Amino acid sequence: MPEQVTLEIKKDESIWPIYFRLQAEERQVGRWTTYAWTIEDLCLNGEQDSNVTLAEIGAGNYMLPLELFRDERMEYRFNLNAQDPHLFFVCAEEDEQLKPVLMTAAQGVAARYMDGDYVVLHIQIPLPIQVWMEAYLGRHGELEEFKRRGGGKGKKQKGRSSGN
């Protein structure tokens, strides 16, 4: 068994360590037995235990940092403006067990993992995390969508032959 990585992770303006439990429920589908996985017991304030094991295997208890990146600000805004904003948990499947590898609030990032051999679970973003994300967007500004043509020129100045 590989050694677990132990790091000290503290909450700051762009990282929030979140503790949670993966719960499997066995379901019968026809003749087949399968598992339905859910995120349970989300804990947002695990500061009493600052030395943690990242994605520690065992008993389904895990900790992953939710990290915000400046180049994903537009996706965070899209998520927060949705009627039901989500937090996404990307998990790898090993021996019929899920092991979380990434937590993100960017739907596009989660979608890229769904195209591979990963399972993506989601929950509604807790209100304290939504407030924290809004503060992050307030501090760092929000990315505006870049126009595909014209490079931001006005309607009268479409290209070089505009006559000006």
Give the span between the Cα atoms of 38 and 41, in whole angstroms: 10
Element (H, E) at 77: helix 73-81
pLDDT tens, residue by residue, 32-60: 988 889 999 899 876 544 444 444 545 68
Higher model confidence: residue 77 or residue 143? 77
Predicted confidence at residue 116, as pLDDT, reads: 82
Given a contact cutoff of 8 angstroms between Cβ atoms, the answer to whether 4 and 54 are in contact is yes
Q: Report residue 156's pLDDT band, with 50, 70 and 90 as the boundaries.
A: low
In this prediction the pTM is 0.76
Residue 142 has pLDDT above 70, yes or no: yes
CB 99 within 8 A of CB 55: yes
**Could you report how far apart the first and last alpha carbons of the chain are, in Å?**
70
